[in-house]
């Protein structure tokens, strides 16, 4: 891992981050690490990732499923993430530890499903409505003049505040490490 100054790694480029995180199994690894934020055993990690992949409980994972996940984590995914500095993987004792970079990846891991509500378009629409309302009130267009300018300003402020609160609530539920399972699995349930 390259260092930009003593003891501090160079930031990863977006290309490097997306290369590492394009695989769902590696995203599941980060979900698991973020839940406990402590070193974990490869066996425990493999069991949980297999449960998520096969949409079953920890107890419902078959030995074959666990072994398949364990092997690819050990041979492919964890070494790749270790090389990038996203986590530390000691293949001798099978321990995986989060690093500072593990928590830095949140912005890249937010789930943006295909049918997501377009918040930016909603905010743009609210802004356009607010501008149109100001223009209509300035020109004295009826029936908008039936309410006072202060009442309109209050209504618009409450609408924007409620929209922002709904957006924050929604986004918090879509973050990695928020719940017991990855957002990819919980979205749409």
Residue 161 placed within a domain: yes
Q: Where are the alpha helices (DSSP H) in the chain?
A: 14-21, 24-36, 42-53, 63-72, 78-83, 100-104, 106-109, 119-139, 149-172, 183-186
Cα separation, 97 vs 41, in Å, equals: 9
Is residue 101 domain-shared with residue 128, that is, in the same domain? no
- Say if residue 105 is in the same domain as residue 123: no
82 and 135 housed in the same domain:
no
In the beta sheet, which residues pair with residue 125? none
165 and 102 within one domain: no
CA distance 80 to 40: 17
Shared domain for 10 and 95, answered yes or no, is yes
Q: What is the pLDDT of residues 94-149, one digit of tens each?
A: 899 988 777 777 666 655 454 556 778 888 888 999 999 889 988 998 888 898 98
Residues 96 and 127 in one domain: no
Of 58, 86, 111, which residue is a domain's last?
A: 111
Model's pTM, two decimal places? Answer: 0.58
Residue 126: inside a domain, yes or no? Answer: yes
Domain that holds residue 163: 119-172
Number of domains in the chain: 2
How far is the C-alpha of 4 from the C-alpha of 2, rounded, in Å?
7
- Residue 98: which H helix or E strand, with range? strand 95-98
Give the pLDDT confidence of 114-123 residue by residue, as tens digits.
455 677 888 8
CA–CA separation, 162 and 74 (whole Å): 46
Judgement on whether residues 52 and 79 belong to the same structural domain of the protein: yes
Q: Are residues 9 and 97 in the same domain?
A: yes
Say if 179 falls within a structural domain: no
Which token pair is 123?
A: 């905010």
Contact 25, 49 (CB under 8 A): yes
- Residue ranges in the chain modelled with pLDDT below 70: 1-9, 106-117, 173-189
52 plus 140 within the same structural domain: no
Say if residue 14 is in the same domain as residue 55.
yes
């Amino acid at each position: 891992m390259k260092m930009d100054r003593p003891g501090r790694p160079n930031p990863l480029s977006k290309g490097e981050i997306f290369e590492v995180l394009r695989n769902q199994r590696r995203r599941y690894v980060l979900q698991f690490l973020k839940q406990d934020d402590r070193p974990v055993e490869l066996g425990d990690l493999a069991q949980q990732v297999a449960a998520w992949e096969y949409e079953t409980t920890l107890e419902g994972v078959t030995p074959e499923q666990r072994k398949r996940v364990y092997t690819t984590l050990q041979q492919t995914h964890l070494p790749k993430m270790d090389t990038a500095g996203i986590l530390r993987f000691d293949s001798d004792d099978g321990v995986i530890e989060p690093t500072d970079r593990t928590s830095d990846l949140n912005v890249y891991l937010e789930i943006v499903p295909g049918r997501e509500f377009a918040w930016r378009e909603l905010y743009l629409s609210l802004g356009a409505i607010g501008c149109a309302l100001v223009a209509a009130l300035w020109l004295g267009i009826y029936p908008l003049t039936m309410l006072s300018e202060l009442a309109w300003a209050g209504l618009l402020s409450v609408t924007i505040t409620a929209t922002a609160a709904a957006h924050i609530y929604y986004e918090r539920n879509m973050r990695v490490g928020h719940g017991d399972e990855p957002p990819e699995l919980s979205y749409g349930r």
